[in-house]
Amino acid sequence: MRIPRVLAIVLAGGEGSRLGALTDHRTKPAVRVAGSYRLIDVALSNLANSHVRDVWIVEQFLPHALNEHLSNGRPWDLDRTHAGLRILAPFTGGTGEGFPEGNSDSLWHFRQQIASFDPELVLVLSADHLFTMKLTDVVDTHQQAGADLTMVTTRHDGDASRYGVVKVGTKGRVEEFWYKPEEPPTDLVVTETFCFSGPALLEALEDLGGDEGDLSDYGEDLIPYFIDKHTVVEHRLEGYWQDIGTLSAYWRSHMELLDGTGVELDDPDWPILTAPPQLVPARVADGAVVADSMLASGAVVRGTVRHSVLAPRVIVEEGAVLEDCVVLDGVRIGRDVHLSGCIVDEGAQLTGPLEAGTNGCVTLIDGAGDVVRTEQID
C-alpha cells in the first residue's frame, strides 16, 4: 500500500482548569506523569513509534515549560532538516489571527497552514490522554473503509457523560453521535484521536467557519458535520485509555500504574520517550521503607513510601510517611508529615506535624504547601 502524506496535529493549548493548582502555572500537557515523564510525551511517543514525522503542536495557554521540555523535538527524533516538529502559536496580522476558543477553532485558525502542507490525511490528537497505540493501524482502518473521518473509540466503564458517545453499526460505521449526553445511550466513547481526510477537513473548516471562525469543540460542530455529510468509521482501542481531565483521574491513573493495570510505559518495543533531567539515580537511605512505588532520578528517601510515585528531586525525610501519593518535582516531605491519597505540586516544602488525606477522596497540596482542593474519587 502506498504511504499517504500524513500530517499529525497535537492539540496542547488547553488550560486544564479541572486540575486546579497543577495547571495554575503550566499547561496541562506539561504536567508530570509517572514520575519521569510529561503528559505530552505519550502522544509524541505514539507518533514517533508509528513513524509519523510531520508533527505540529498547537499551543496557547502558558507554553513556556512545555517548550522547554520539547527541546525542538529531539527526544522523539523530530529535530529534523526535513519534516519534524513545528510549533503553532496564536498570532496576529494575517489569516487565522487571534486566540482559538476550542478544538475545532484551533484547526480553523491554522487552516491556511494545513492547506499549504497539502496532507492526504490529518491525524489529530489531544495531548492529555494516557494510552499507547500504533497510529498507522488507524490510518489503515481509514483507508480500507474509504472513510472521511476515523474516530478512535473505546469502551468506558465509568461516567461516559464527560465524553463524546457513539453508536456503531456494521463494518464499524458510526451511525449516531452524542456530545457529553446526560444519560449516555452507549458506553462507547470517543478518545479524541482522529484521522481526517485532508481535503474533507479543510472543506469542513471552510463551511463551518467561513472567514470569521468562531468554532468551538469537536463535539459541537466538526464531528456532527462529518457524520451528517461524510463517511465516519471507528477504530477500536482495546487497551488502556485514560483522559487526564480531573484530579481524580490523574491520581487514579498513577495508582493503576503502580498496580500493573494502567498504561504500559516499559514496553521495549514501544518506549515512551522524554527529555530526562540530568540527575543521579534515586537514593534510598538505611532504615527507609519503600514498597510498591516508583522513584524518579534525584529522589532521596529516608522515611516511609508505600504505593506512591515520586518525581525528580523529591526528598522524604526520616519519620515522614507517604501512602497512595503522587509527589511532583522538588518537593520536601519533612519529619512527622503523614500523607495519604495526596497529590503534592512542585516545590512544596512540608513540615510536620502534618496529616493530610481523606478516605475516598484525593487531596491536592499546592506548591506553597497548602491544601487547596479535595475531590471525590470517581
CA distances from 260 to 133, 197, 237 (A): 18, 37, 19
User: Has residue 186 been placed in a domain?
Assistant: yes
The pairing of beta strand 315-316 with beta strand 164-168: unpaired
Asked if 75 and 169 sit in the same domain, the reply is yes
Strand partners, 91: 98
User: Has residue 117 been placed in a domain?
Assistant: yes
Predicted confidence at residue 179, as pLDDT, reads 96
Cell numbers of 199, please? 481535503
Ranges in the chain, pLDDT < 50 = none
Query: CB neighbours of 329 closer than 8 A, spacing ≥ 6?
Result: 32, 311, 312, 313, 314, 346, 347
The pairing of beta strand 321-323 with beta strand 354-356: unpaired
Predicted confidence at residue 183, as pLDDT, reads 95
Q: Which amino acid is at 371?
A: V
Predicted confidence at residue 90, as pLDDT, reads 86
Predicted confidence at residue 142, as pLDDT, reads 97
Asked if 219 and 368 sit in the same domain, the reply is no
Last residue of a domain, one of 227, 259, 291: 259
DSSP state of 268: T
DSSP state of 38: E
User: Has residue 274 been placed in a domain?
Assistant: no
Asked if 336 and 254 sit in the same domain, the reply is no
CATH number for the domain including 127? 3.90.550.10
Asked if 243 and 294 sit in the same domain, the reply is no
Predicted confidence at residue 18, as pLDDT, reads 83
Asked if 205 and 164 sit in the same domain, the reply is yes
- Measured CA to CA, the distance from residue 322 to residue 176 in angstroms comes to 46
- Measured CA to CA, the distance from residue 237 to residue 19 in angstroms comes to 25
Predicted confidence at residue 237, as pLDDT, reads 97
- Measured CA to CA, the distance from residue 185 to residue 176 in angstroms comes to 10
Last residue of a domain, one of 211, 243, 259: 259
User: Has residue 276 been placed in a domain?
Assistant: no
Asked if 22 and 71 sit in the same domain, the reply is yes
Predicted confidence at residue 1, as pLDDT, reads 57
Count the domains in the chain: 2
Predicted confidence at residue 158, as pLDDT, reads 85
User: Has residue 250 been placed in a domain?
Assistant: yes
**Phi and psi, residue 332, nearest 5°:** -115, 120
Length of the chain: 378
Instruction: Region of 71 please: left (phi>0), alpha (psi -120 to 50) or beta.
Output: left
Asked if 11 and 144 sit in the same domain, the reply is yes
Asked if 326 and 219 sit in the same domain, the reply is no
Q: How many CB atoms lie within 10 A of CB 372?
A: 15
Query: CB neighbours of 24 closer than 8 A, spacing ≥ 6?
Result: 366
- Measured CA to CA, the distance from residue 167 to residue 176 in angstroms comes to 5
The tens digit of pLDDT for each residue in 180-218 reads: 999 999 999 999 999 999 999 999 999 999 888 789 999
CATH number for the domain including 354? 2.160.10.10
Listed residue (122, 147, 120, 155) closest to 11, CA to CA: 122
Asked if 315 and 253 sit in the same domain, the reply is no
For cell 499517504, the residue is 4
For residue 337, the enclosing domain spans: 283-376
User: Has residue 270 been placed in a domain?
Assistant: no
- Measured CA to CA, the distance from residue 196 to residue 202 in angstroms comes to 9
pTM: 0.94
Asked if 110 and 214 sit in the same domain, the reply is yes
**Residue 331: strand, helix, or coil:** coil
User: Has residue 265 been placed in a domain?
Assistant: no
Please say whether the beta carbons of 275 and 74 come within 8 A. yes
Asked if 45 and 88 sit in the same domain, the reply is yes
The pairing of beta strand 149-155 with beta strand 188-197: antiparallel
User: Has residue 268 been placed in a domain?
Assistant: no
Q: How many CB atoms lie within 10 A of CB 368?
A: 11
Asked if 179 and 222 sit in the same domain, the reply is yes
